[in-house]
Amino acid sequence: MNNINYNWNYPTTIWVGQNRIKDLSLACKKLNISKPLFVTDSELVKSNIVKKTLLDLKKENLSFETFSNVSGNPCGSHVEEGVNFFNQKKCDGVIAFGGGSGLDVGKAIAFMSGQNLPIWDFEDIGDNWTRANNDMISPIIAVPTTAGTGSETGRASVILDEKTGVKKIIFHPKFLPSIVILDPILTIDLPSNITAATGMDALAHNLEAYCAPGYHPMADGIALEGMRLIKNSLLNVVNDGSNIEARMNMLTASSMGSTAFQKGLGAIHSLSHPLNAQYNVHHGLSNAIFMPYVLTFNKTFIENRIILICEYLNMEKNFETFLNWILHLRKKLEIPHKITDIIDLKDINLDKLSKMALDDPSTSSNPRKLNINDMRIMYEHSISGELFK
């Protein structure tokens, strides 16, 4: 990759390039943030990339606070604690730094810092978001350190409600960060299993968005190119984590995935979210497991779309070729084939999971209309390992 910086302006301001993190204090200045809250997760805060980033902010004489009580699938209590800290320290903006959890909690803290209603009142249902006080949302800078969630270009955070055990999508248009920094150097220390799982999440976003029903050629175009970048780069980056060009392509494909899924997601995510919430399974890993089951279950409803994907990805134009590519990719990435490879069968409550999957917001945009029995059948197949014929 050449060492040129790029500035993109949709869906938001995105500063792209190797070592672009050096512009973080400039981003604060542009947004008139004089005291940011740096939000990251409890593991990443110990890493050299965070230490170096914070040291650079200090050198720029920027006053900031750090909040890192965030782990795994982020919960409402993480956000609440962060909001209290933000207000107590009189911060005026958020730097959300990390993988999905750091980004989602950081965005939610900036949003909730000036609201009077509880966070669950802003769940992505109907026009709930209009309840928010728009003038009290603090500016957000997002810096992803994984390539998967795409939360940096998303207008929502996924937060677990500990009381109900349900992952909820909290939405407001101003969740979209004002400035995003995409710097591939920040991702080179990611272990290969996380690179693989997060990369499969990015693939699931682009794939489900492209197959979701509805007229949205902009989202479709972005999703197709996102899948092409992933096809060309994911295995390379898992095999050689220091491949900067492939790291950059994966970061971009991740941002593209969440831009595209404004059109909708589907059953891969519907089946995945309950597993993430109930068993703390990595979101990208469960998406990767469910992908071939959902593809084959949806086959007659998506075959034409899949053939168009094959055409763009320069593959033989039929459904089986695409399916075999996914299966081959999963194998190369050492993704298990069945959910029982990662969860004990006796711990799986199919009634509960199927109900949660049906209620998931991603269900409504699955290409095939789904009922609770469909969810159960898909879970059963992902236990037996048998794809749909």
Phi, psi of 320 (to 5 degrees): -65, -40
User: What's the rounded Cα separation, in Å, for the pair 234 and 257?
Assistant: 14
Closer to Fe ion by Cβ: residue 272 or 298: 272
Q: What are the residues whose beta carbons fall under 8 Å from the beta carbon of 168, sequence distance 6 or more? A: 120, 123, 124, 158, 159, 160, 161
The CB-nearest residue to Fe ion is 201
Taking the complex as a whole, the smallest distance from the CB of residue 150 to Fe ion amounts, in Å, to: 8
> Which span (37-45, 195-203, 248-256, 352-360) binds Fe ion, by CB under 5 A?
195-203
| CB 153, CB 259: distance < 8 Å | yes
Phi-psi region of 386 (alpha: psi -120 to 50; beta: other; left: phi over 0): beta
Q: State the nearest-atom distance from the C-beta of 128 to Fe ion, in Å.
A: 21
Beta bridge partners of 36: 93
CB of 292 to Fe ion, least distance (A): 17
Nearer to Fe ion, 201 or 374 (CB): 201
Nearest of 245, 147, 244, 145 to residue 195 by alpha carbon: 147
Stretch that binds Fe ion, among 103-111, 132-140, 189-197, 200-208 (CB under 5 A): 200-208
By beta-carbon proximity to Fe ion, the closer residue of 23 and 201 is 201
CB 103, min distance to Fe ion, A: 12
Helix (H, G, I), strand (E, B) or coil at 265: coil
Cα(160)–Cα(85) distance, integer angstroms: 20
List of E strands, 128-202: 140-144, 156-161, 166-171, 179-182
Give the count of residues interacting with Fe ion (CB under 5 A): 1
CA distance 173 to 129: 8
Nearest distance from C-beta of residue 290 to Fe ion, angstroms: 11
To Fe ion, the closest distance from the beta carbon of 266 in angstroms equals 11
Closer to Fe ion by Cβ: residue 54 or 194: 194
Closer residue to Fe ion, CB minimum distance, 40 or 276: 276
Q: How far is the CB of 269 from Fe ion (least distance, A)?
A: 6
Phi–psi pair at 39, nearest 5 degrees = -110, 125
Using the contact rule CB under 5 A, the part of the chain among 112-120, 199-207, 358-366, 370-378 near Fe ion is: 199-207
Contact indicator for 3, 244 with CB cutoff of 8 Å: no
Identify which of residues 153 and 243 has a Cβ nearer to Fe ion in the complex: 153
Query: Segment 71-110, which members bind Fe ion (CB under 5 A)?
Result: none
Least distance from Fe ion to the Cβ atom of residue 251, Å: 15
Q: Would you say 169 or 224 has its CB closer to Fe ion?
A: 169
The Cα 358–Cα 207 span in angstroms is 20
374 binds Fe ion (CB under 5 A): no
Site for Fe ion contains 201 (CB under 5 A): yes
208 binds Fe ion (CB under 5 A): no
* Residues found near Fe ion in the complex (CB under 5 A): 201
